[in-house]
Amino acid sequence: MCSKLFKAMLTAGLLTSAASVLASPISLPGGPLYIKYDNAEQYSNTNSIHTTDANGNAVTEGNWGVIQVASISKGVILPPPGSDIANAGGSVFSDGGVGGHQITGIFYGTNSITGTGNSTGGVLDLYWQDVGVASIGTELTAASNLLKRTAQNAYTGYADPTGATMTFLGEFFFTPGCDSGGVNTICSGVIPGSGSASSYQDVNTAKVGAWTTTLDTNFFTLDALGAGLVPPADIRTDSNFSTNGASLWNVAGTDIIGLSSRDPIRAFATPEPGSLALVGLALVGFAFSGRRSRKQA
């Protein structure tokens, strides 16, 4: 009886383990990646956006927003190496919509340099959702959605730093590279309105997520102007932003405006065979349990 109970518990444990593995975030393939996402954001050239940090302290910032990854594709390295990555096709991930698998996140903590379109600082947090609830196209349709931002790094349905509703993938610091000055982390030729911007990000290895090691490759060794980038960056981002359809996130009496943007991201990943190995071990466990049962029968 005890033996049968033990075998039942072992089989149940293996089933739970395998299900957990299969429900975990996708493992990124090694090599260059091309990522597309959409976002909804607010911008203030005078850093007039008020929120609270993770410790409950009042802070101000110039730009923040929530993001939803639309797709991840395999990329191709452009010459010279370390400068850029283009889309090579070959799907890695496609957003599953509400109820499906989703990759979402929040960026925050940038400081606008008043009178320019440039900024310093900034953080991006990414999350995996097994059963997603995000629909980025609806966020800008109501000012009341701003209440879903419960802290600087938290927004219901997109970013949950408690880990209760989604899996943390990684945190990325905005770093210099958009010009050769070594200070700006976001460069834009215009004060939003509408226009484009470029930036680089670096993995925060002190805050480990499912993709931290995978994306910590220091691939981008050249800045946006082709000069050497020291230290190198892990991710390169270009964004195209617009005020169209975003006015409900404007704040009357301030320079805070709503924006929507579509941003191609480029990254280089190292392969992660670990999850496949765990699935293999679980299947071996099932086979072993089955053989034992047949022999004892």
Is pLDDT of 295 > 70?
A: no
- H or E element at residue 13: helix 2-22
Confidence class for position 19, pLDDT limits 50, 70, 90: very low
Say what percent of the chain tops pLDDT 70: 84
**Quick check: 172 and 217 in contact, CB under 8 A?**
no
**Domain-embedded: residue 98:** yes
**Domain-embedded: residue 4:** no
Mean pLDDT, residues 65-83:
98
**Domain-embedded: residue 235:** yes
Confidence class for position 205, pLDDT limits 50, 70, 90: very high
- Structurally, the chain folds into a number of domains equal to 1
**Domain-embedded: residue 79:** yes
**Domain-embedded: residue 289:** no
Confidence class for position 194, pLDDT limits 50, 70, 90: confident
Q: What is the pTM of this model?
A: 0.84
pLDDT digits (tens, 9 = 90+) for 24-62: 899 999 999 999 999 999 999 999 999 999 889 999 999
Cα 21 to chain centroid distance, Å, stands at: 20
Confidence class for position 144, pLDDT limits 50, 70, 90: very high
* Sequence-ordered list of residues with C-beta below 8 angstroms from that of 230, at least 6 positions apart, any chain: none
**Domain-embedded: residue 6:** no
**Domain-embedded: residue 19:** no
The pLDDT, as a whole number, for residue 6 is 29
**Quick check: 286 and 14 in contact, CB under 8 A?**
yes
Query: How crowded is residue 192: how many other Cβ atoms within 10 Å of its Cβ?
Result: 23
**Domain-embedded: residue 295:** no
Mean pLDDT, residues 159-182:
97
Dihedral angle, C-alpha 68, 70, 72, 77, nearest 10 °: -90
Confidence class for position 235, pLDDT limits 50, 70, 90: very high
Give residue 272's domain range.
27-278
Q: Residue 296: what residue type? A: Q
Is pLDDT of 183 > 90?
A: yes
CA angle 184, 81, 203 (to 5 degrees): 50
**How far from each other are the two terminal CA atoms of the chain, in whole angstroms?**
14
The pLDDT, as a whole number, for residue 192 is 77
Packed helices 274-296 and 2-22: angle between N→C axes, nearest 10 degrees = 160
